[in-house]
Amino acid sequence: MPEQKALLRAIPQVDQILALPAVMALESAAPRSRLVAAVRAELDALRQAILAGVCDVLPSESELCVAIAARLKREGQPSLRPVINATGVPLHTNFGRAPLAERAVDAVCAAARGYSNLEYDLETGARGSRHAHVAGLLCALTGAEDALAVNNNAAAVLLALSALTAGREVIISRGELVEIGGAFRVPQVMEQSGGILREVGTTNKTRPSDYEAAIGEHTAALLKVHTSNFKLIGFTENAALEELAALAERRGLWLIHDLGSGCLRDAHALGLPEEPTVTQSVKAGAHVTTFSGDKLLGGPQAGIIVGKAGLIARIKKHPLARALRIDKLTLAALEATLRLHLDGEAATAVPVLAMLSATSEALRVKAEGLLAVLKGRALPAVLAVEADTGPVGGGSAPGVALSGWVVALGTGAMPLQALEARLRAAETPVVARIARDKLILDVRTLGARDFGPIADALEAALQP
């Protein structure tokens, strides 16, 4: 205890540290207020380390200066930063899901630099609608009568239910009462909308007759939810969308379909065994279909609502439509992405679709390219190209294992967990995964431009 008190008394004052030439030189890199805050924070961290018993020797002045410079640099970085996704998960929710196509990035930059005709009709010189920029494209791609976009699919479902079912019953299968990201659940979304939940069937089996038996004078709609983030297998049965559409028509109800993942193309072309498309939902008879913009559509975070013109008009007029409306930058990215789909260029130009549909041979060649770059650095690690599998991610295509190729690193010089942590701390963070007692760099989610930064990060991380 006396030694601890002596160490605490020996901690230099803030003014002493600020007067050091090495610290004074940092004023050219940051305002003095930030420099003072960094010095105080570093001295406070030293004080806490002494009190915790993990520091029994004061760092030298030069060591303190290096730590302050590192803190200043770290705290000056943006909180939202680019990362290199070496996990192989194309729709990684924690990384922002779908990276945008170059054309979408250009559209965002153009919309951000100045003014735009967001809600201005250039032909008439009068007020326009922001929905007009994507409604026609969505109708052309899906066969729907009208469409609008909001800020995510949960918002789309909330808005549709609020506009069409408030105060009335909505019938849904018990097996489709899913929980989505962030612990938000379909029943909670329905409660907020004012719709009254009426669940039918069982977790594993719900038949059309279950829906029909539950219909009463207060029923407004049938709700079908595509369970895009989990899969039930075994002794299961569920009502087909076509069956529910026929029932809804016969009983004068709305059929609302929460499709979730928003696939616009044949799933087989993406390397996925099965995934319902928006067009199939519209053709099957859904009156309103909602889906995400940042999953299998490959665009920005958005919630899209397509369906019958009269219902979409009601949804657009609901007060929540303004609260949940899409902003101009997201709208620009969405429009550009939809045009790529309409022009037939999405398969190669939309990054997520290109990742999903990449052939095994193309991925193997890419892995060998990364291996060659890494071997050129003479890293103290065992490197090899190996076959591997990974998920689609983003609550899409549950249970699907994507076959591909990775570069695997084995090193006895450093624990893999420590190496993985150092890669995350790199100037451009590299996020990999650990499997089979190796560090795995999955090339499905990498481009050739990532190879150099990965090599730099590994070279630095493997230093003693």
Distance (Å, rounded) from C-alpha 356 to C-alpha 65?
A: 48
Distance (Å, rounded) from C-alpha 352 to C-alpha 445?
A: 8
Q: What is the CATH number of the domain that holds 372?
A: 3.90.1150.180
Beta bridge partners of 222: 171, 255
Structure tokens at 459: 């070279």
pLDDT given at position 394:
65
Structural domain containing residue 340: 100-349
Q: Read off the pLDDT of residues 282-313 as tens digits, 9 standing for 90 and up.
A: 999 999 999 999 999 999 999 999 999 999 99
CB count in 10 Å sphere of residue 441: 28
Q: Which residues, other chains included, contact 37 with Cβ-Cβ below 8 Å and sequence gap of 6+?
A: none
Tell me: pLDDT of 273 over 80. no
Q: Which residues, other chains included, contact 161 with Cβ-Cβ below 8 Å and sequence gap of 6+?
A: 170, 189, 190, 193, 194, 195, 221, 223, 256
pLDDT given at position 268:
79
* 450 and 305 belong to one structural domain: no
* 226 and 339 belong to one structural domain: yes
* 345 and 372 belong to one structural domain: no
Q: Calculate what percentage of the chain has a pLDDT beyond 90.
A: 74
Sign of CA dihedral 358, 362, 364, 366: negative
Q: What is the CATH number of the domain that holds 279?
A: 3.40.640.10
* 68 and 107 belong to one structural domain: no
CB count in 10 Å sphere of residue 35: 20
pLDDT given at position 334:
98
Averaged pLDDT of the chain: 91
pLDDT given at position 398:
67
* 345 and 361 belong to one structural domain: no
pLDDT given at position 6:
87
Tell me: pLDDT of 261 over 90. no
pLDDT given at position 373:
97
* 289 and 363 belong to one structural domain: no
Look up tokens 């230093």; give the residue.
463
Average pLDDT over residues 78-88: 94
Highest mean pLDDT among 47-61, 132-146, 201-215, 386-400: 132-146
Backbone angles phi, psi at 222, to 5 degrees: -105, 135
Last residue of a domain, one of 331, 349, 367: 349
Residue 441 CA to its chain's centroid (Å)? 20
pLDDT given at position 4:
85
- Domains in the chain: how many in total? 3
* 167 and 296 belong to one structural domain: yes
Q: Read off the pLDDT of residues 22-55 as tens digits, 9 standing for 90 and up.
A: 999 998 888 999 999 999 999 999 999 999 888 8
Angle formed at CA 39 by CA 33 and CA 45, multiple of 5 degrees: 135
Distance (Å, rounded) from C-alpha 81 to C-alpha 90?
A: 18
Distance (Å, rounded) from C-alpha 440 to C-alpha 434?
A: 6
* 112 and 168 belong to one structural domain: yes
pLDDT given at position 177:
80
Distance (Å, rounded) from C-alpha 342 to C-alpha 350?
A: 12
Asked whether 332 and 304 are in contact (CB, 8 A), the reply is no
* 123 and 137 belong to one structural domain: yes
According to DSSP, the β-strands at 184-185 and 126-127 are unpaired
Distance (Å, rounded) from C-alpha 246 to C-alpha 286?
A: 10
Confidence of residue 233 (pLDDT cuts 50, 70, 90): low
Q: Read off the pLDDT of residues 309-347 as tens digits, 9 standing for 90 and up.
A: 999 999 999 999 999 999 999 999 999 999 999 999 999
Collapsing DSSP to helix, strand or coil, 402 comes out as: strand
* 139 and 223 belong to one structural domain: yes
Last residue of a domain, one of 288, 323, 349: 349
* 417 and 456 belong to one structural domain: yes
pLDDT given at position 192:
87
More confident residue, 118 or 390: 118
Q: Calculate what percentage of the chain has a pLDDT beyond 70.
A: 95
* 166 and 300 belong to one structural domain: yes
Q: Read off the pLDDT of residues 155-172 as tens digits, 9 standing for 90 and up.
A: 999 999 999 999 999 999
Asked whether 316 and 231 are in contact (CB, 8 A), the reply is no
Look up tokens 């069409």; give the residue.
164
